[in-house]
Amino acid sequence: MHFTSPTKGKMTTNEMWDDILGFVNEHPKDSFRLIIGTDSQPGKLTCFVTAVIIHREGKGAKFYYRRTFNKTPMALRHRIFEEATRSLEMAGLLIQFIADMNTELTVEIHVDIGEKGRTRELIQQVVNMINMSGFLAKVKPYSYGATKVADRFTK
């Protein structure tokens, strides 16, 4: 699995995690949140982008993203659940790395749904799915991991 860092280019999952650890270890007194968000863009191929963000609270962040494509057209509801599932899968992968850390790290899943628009009826189901998986879910307007970072790379 490969990711792209805007500053360092292509990296493997292990290289990304080493970079995240380095960032956290440089600032041992600061608080960090690990944010995972996925967004998609339909077209001939549906583009999915999963962003992994390490947020140094009040002092900036670093991010990485992974872009994949799906040939099968999807309805909006299916796409939203696919985005949430991809974020959960990424969180499940990264939680293995977090277990080896000496610091506590809050993990959030950001989803591109909100009270306004066609996705409002999906909020309860998607948030419950994420919360029941043991992660904190954030929706619009607080879900910038999906709505700002991942969305930027779907186009």
Per-residue pLDDT reduced to its tens digit, 1-46: 899 999 999 999 999 999 999 999 898 899 999 999 999 999 899 9
3-state secondary structure of 130: helix
Residue 26 lies in domain:
2-152
Q: Which of 144, 4, 111, 127 is nearest to 68 (CA)?
A: 4
* Structure confidence by residue, pLDDT tens digits, 95-106: 888 887 766 788
The per-residue pLDDT for 102 is: 63
CATH number at residue 69: 3.30.420
* Domain count of the fold of the chain: 1
Cα–Cα dist 78/8, whole Å = 33
Rounded average pLDDT over 79-99:
93
